[in-house]
Amino acid sequence: MEQRKLGTQGLTVSAMGLGCMGMSFAYGAADENEAIATIHRALHLGVNFLDTAEVYGPYTNEQLVGRALRGRREGVVVATKFGFRIGNGTRGVDGTPANVKRVADESLARLGIGVIDLYYQHRRDPAVPIEETVGAMKGLVEAGKVRYLGLSEVAPETLRRANAVHPISALQSEYSLWERRVEKAILPTARELGIAFVPYSPLGRGFLTGAVKVDELAQDDARRNHPRFSKENARANQRIVDAVRAVAAESKLTPAQIALAWVLSRGRDVVPIPGTKRVRYLEENVGALDVRLTPDQLEQLEGLAAQTSGERYAPEMMTLIE
């Protein structure tokens, strides 16, 4: 398995990670046995970078990952996130030092591990200076509870200010063939600072695979609340899927493999974390690591993001993205 560096502090992971959110949260019914089998298969294939978060569930996804890792912790890089205020549902964000420390301790207990390899702030709290939040995160590194630090969905200036307090190893933000806005300023800033980029939803929450039918999504599937999955926008976005499918057909690959190969081609400092809760999709995704897109294929894919119809999230969630 190809290895890629996350930042310049010494963290190295497999070139593709595994997003675990959908195993217990957001995307319809879960099957814990299949989810754990998927994690185990990922580790067997050399995928050693697992991504979870406190808010996934909440709490249940970290617990599931912890169960999957029993007796298998060695060599696995576990990333988790804090930052939402959780009570009766998710209510805003909390970047206070007290929350930084509390969540770390609780996440360690849920995961059943002694140290968090990569600890992200999930969304920035505008009421708390980033220096205070990262200062508390730095304290966790010094205490031996966390190894490396990350941020998610922050603007270049926030990234600079945070990195001045303690080196940031990874920035996690959405990035795919239908979402490329980070390329303008965020990705260049990360590269200037030596911070790796971890794209989430590199398959457009499954839409780019061509397998998602919006009218068949479960009633509790979070994508029902995402503008790009409305019937009108999905109909318009189908042309993107059709273009990806055409490129895939040329090489006898799947649309998912083409979409992931494109993200992987963006640079060795880019480590996508496609999520799945099924072994067969995991194996399909890992197959993208062997795909090398031709200049002609890259040209065919280049303009797709400009055709995307609809925003990433509903308005209230978009306010949390810098």
Contact 4, 199 (CB under 8 A): no
Residue 56 annotated as catalytic: yes
Active-site option among 27, 56, 119, 148 = 56
Contact 114, 84 (CB under 8 A): no
HEC sequence for 200-221: ECCCCCCHHHCCCCHHHCCCCC
The amino acid at residue 267 is G
Q: Which residues contact 158 (CB under 8 A, 6 or more apart)?
A: 124, 130, 151, 322
Q: In 10 A of CB 239, how many CB atoms?
A: 13
Q: Which residues contact 157 (CB under 8 A, 6 or more apart)?
A: none
Q: Is the peptide bond before 126 cis (omega within 30 degrees of 0)?
A: no
What positions carry a catalytic annotation?
56
